Chains A and B, each alone.
Chain A
Amino acid sequence: MLELIGVSKKIAGITQFHKTDLAFERGTMNVLLGATLAGKTSLMRLMAGLDKPTTGKVLWQGKDVTGVRVQKRNIAMVYQQFINYPAFSVYENIASPLRLQGKSKSEIDHAVRETAEMLKLTAQLDAKPLSLSGGQQQRCALARALVKGAGLVLLDEPLANLDYKLREELRAEIPKIFEASGSIFVYATTEAEEALLLGGNTATLWEGKITQFGPTHAVYRQPLNITTARIFSNPPLNTLPVTKAGACLQFAGDQQIPCLSPTPNGQYTLGFRSHHLQLKSNKEARLAFKCRVDICEITGADTLLHLRFGDQHWTSLLEGVHPYTQQEELNLYVDPSHFYLFDAQGDLCAQPRAA
């Protein structure tokens, strides 16, 4: 179990990471989700012990390891860049952490071949890393991280530099590898979709703060604040400032929708995800918004509409091909039960009934 207690990090007076408490249970997959510069890497470096926290402690299985050197900690890390030892063959790359642990020759050979088999590197064992494709190089880095059986495996956007096909392929394998290892995995990513596919727990990060931590699907369905909802929505969350008066939410001057939530009157922000903004109205999706098309992106089976409603930029993810032209006006429908209601501070007041 890894615990961070009151950990923060400042570099040259600039706060990289605000005071945080965080605990990862044994044998869990934990996703750090956030945009670039949100502090994912800063947090990982603190967990790894590559950087020393300005305040707070890092506990590993109840023991304080804050000042312990990286070499003495039982961790492994994979970076976004494909980091291998170019002078060694793939075999030697994978074997190197074991050699340093002083394992016997046969033990090393067995472990290396097993890990290489799992990551489909058996045919490349004698090659030098730089002669391999990007996907194979990253597999090699993953193999080196996994072979030592570290208690904590840190993966810092390991798939970000790979092309689409390879990414999908490796992404499907990572949960399997995780299951087999029994270690704590920490996986940093910028993509909401990746977090959902990996499951486990997710911590959403924003400007050096953790906005929410919990089981991935709970964080996705019940974001506690608008920042979390924004981080965990791709395409971006659609928002609309509204005023609550009695049992109505008013917006854009005169329009209004009924609201039964027992929150006090005042300013609120309405939020809903782009796939809930649909073309057809039915019994549920009955609330209409007249939007203007900005851009229409057709990606094979889906259409992503960038829309304008008043001065709000919205997106709508539609199934099928809908070739709308720019500036075209159309009515789109939402089921009000998908609405999140955030107050002026951005905290969640009312969540969708569906969740």
Chain B
Amino acid sequence: MVDKLKSKNFNGRALVMIAYILFLLLPIYWLINMSLKQNSEIISVFSIWPKNLTFDNYRTILTDPSWYMGYINSMIYVVENVIISLIVALPAAYAFSRYRFLGDKHLFFWLLSNRMAPPAVFALPFFQLYSSIGLFDTHIAVALAHTLFNVPLAVWILEGFMRGVPKEIDETAYIDGYSFPRFFVRIFMPLIASGIGVTAFFCFMFSWVELLLSRTLTSIDAKPITAVMTRTVSAAGMDWGVLAAAGVLTIVPGALVIYFVRHYIAKGFALGRV
């Protein structure tokens, strides 16, 4: 009797969950579905799964430099951006968490207000500035442009994690004889390792999906994958299959990164203040 009730209960809940998950996964499934079809099938008929399974679309992307260089370019500037953001934000967050100085609270808020402006606002000044100093169409240009948005976020998150570390640990280390840089790298950074991971994840996510600045600041040499994907209208019309395959491959890195930091993300969203 009890078992029956339980299983009935379970089914009811499971049904809702399954429906919800199906609903969430539908667009992703459709993308994968499309990426495994030929263009003719995509356009002409409605099919739940590919009738003529083909991996040609993926082959195109992985062999054609104009496609795979997009991924490489994106990864280069994303990694550069994450590294720069962390290097800048770690000392800044430490200062905010440990010292009181004139206007510290205002500065802290002002940092975050940087994120309130849409990237489009900065597209024009960045474009003009980078063109005039010869940084246009380089990876570092995009990486630097993205730090404008990522450094404030990184400072904000890291400060929360650092505040959770008692100040007495710093002092004990100084008393033991640690110099500041040595203490910071050897003692302090391992303590906030999860915070650094979460911060890197948020920087990665922003930089990886950001389209407007990266497209404006690049033309050929540093063209990111998101820009490549939006320029696929050829003389033969839209190449739906290849576009879908590119979409699938763009999701993969993000999904991988989320998988590795999934335990810390909740804390990261709370900016370390859990």
Q: What residues of chain A have their CB less than 8 Å away from a CB belonging to chain B?
A: 48, 50, 69-71, 73, 75-77, 79, 81, 83, 85-87, 96-97, 100-101, 141, 144, 148
A48 near B190 with CB under 8 A, answer no
Not counting A77-B172, A79-B168, A96-B176, a sample of 12 additional A-B residue pairs whose C-beta atoms are within 8 angstroms of each other reads A50-B174, A50-B175, A71-B175, A71-B178, A76-B176, A83-B168, A85-B187, A86-B190, A87-B191, A100-B176, A100-B178, A148-B176
A144 near B176 with CB under 8 A, answer yes
A77 to B168, CA, bound (A): 10
Which A residues lie within 8 Å of B177 (CB)? 71, 97, 100-101
| B169 is an interface residue with CB less than 8 A from chain A | yes
B190 near A87 with CB under 8 A, answer yes
A97 near B176 with CB under 8 A, answer yes
A77 near B187 with CB under 8 A, answer no
| B27 is an interface residue with CB less than 8 A from chain A | no
Which B residues lie within 8 Å of A70 (CB)? 171, 174-175
Which A residues lie within 8 Å of B173 (CB)? 85
| B44 is an interface residue with CB less than 8 A from chain A | no
Residue of A nearest to B193 (CB): A87
A77 near B175 with CB under 8 A, answer yes
B168 near A81 with CB under 8 A, answer yes
Which A residues lie within 8 Å of B175 (CB)? 48, 50, 70-71, 73, 75-77
A79 to B172, CA, bound (A): 9
Min Cβ gap B165→A in Å is: 9
Would you list which residues of chain B between 158 and 195 have a CB under 8 Å from chain A? 166, 168-169, 171-179, 187, 190-191
Which A residues lie within 8 Å of B169 (CB)? 83, 85
A144 to B173, CA, bound (A): 11
Min Cβ gap B102→A in Å is: 13
Min Cβ gap A142→B in Å is: 12
B166 near A83 with CB under 8 A, answer yes
A76 to B178, CA, bound (A): 13
A69 to B177, CA, bound (A): 10
A265 to B179, CA, bound (A): 63
Residue of B nearest to A87 (CB): B190
Min Cβ gap A241→B in Å is: 43
A85 to B177, CA, bound (A): 14
**B166 is contacted by which of A73, A81, A148 (Cβ under 8 Å)?**
A81
Min Cβ gap A292→B in Å is: 46
Would you list 6 pairs from A and B whose C-beta atoms are within 8 A, ordered by A residue? A50-B171, A77-B175, A79-B168, A85-B169, A87-B191, A141-B172
A83 to B166, CA, bound (A): 8
A148 to B187, CA, bound (A): 19
Which B residues lie within 8 Å of A87 (CB)? 187, 190-191
Residue of A nearest to B171 (CB): A50
Question: What are the 3 A-B residue pairs with the smallest beta carbon separation, nearest first?
Answer: A87-B190, A100-B177, A97-B176
A86 to B166, CA, bound (A): 12
- Per-residue CB proximity of B82-114 to A under 8 Å, as 1/0? 000000000000000000000000000000000
Residue of B nearest to A50 (CB): B171
B178 near A86 with CB under 8 A, answer no
Which A residues lie within 8 Å of B166 (CB)? 81, 83
A228 to B181, CA, bound (A): 45
- Per-residue CB proximity of B188-209 to A under 8 Å, as 1/0? 0011000000000000000000
A97 to B173, CA, bound (A): 9
Residue of B nearest to A73 (CB): B175
Which B residues lie within 8 Å of A76 (CB)? 175-176
Residue of A nearest to B190 (CB): A87
A105 to B173, CA, bound (A): 20
Which B residues lie within 8 Å of A71 (CB)? 174-175, 177-179
A193 to B137, CA, bound (A): 74
Which B residues lie within 8 Å of A48 (CB)? 175
Which A residues lie within 8 Å of B178 (CB)? 71, 96, 100
B168, B172, B174 pick with most chain A CB within 10 angstroms: B172
Which A residues lie within 8 Å of B179 (CB)? 71
A100 to B179, CA, bound (A): 10
Which A residues lie within 8 Å of B174 (CB)? 50, 69-71
Known: A100-B176, A100-B178, A101-B177. Contact between A77 and B190, CB under 8 A? no
Which A residues lie within 8 Å of B187 (CB)? 85, 87
A48 to B168, CA, bound (A): 13
A47 to B191, CA, bound (A): 28
Min Cβ gap B138→A in Å is: 38
Which B residues lie within 8 Å of A148 (CB)? 176
Which A residues lie within 8 Å of B172 (CB)? 77, 79, 83, 141, 144
Residue of A nearest to B173 (CB): A85
Min Cβ gap B186→A in Å is: 8
A100 to B190, CA, bound (A): 19
A86 near B191 with CB under 8 A, answer yes
Min Cβ gap A75→B in Å is: 6
Which B residues lie within 8 Å of A77 (CB)? 171-172, 175
Which B residues lie within 8 Å of A100 (CB)? 176-178
Which A residues lie within 8 Å of B191 (CB)? 86-87
A101 to B177, CA, bound (A): 8
Min Cβ gap B104→A in Å is: 14
A73 to B175, CA, bound (A): 8
A96 to B174, CA, bound (A): 11
B166, B174, B175, B179 pick with most chain A CB within 10 angstroms: B175
A87 to B187, CA, bound (A): 7
Residue of A nearest to B180 (CB): A71
A141 to B168, CA, bound (A): 12
Min Cβ gap B161→A in Å is: 14
Which B residues lie within 8 Å of A69 (CB)? 174
Min Cβ gap A44→B in Å is: 11
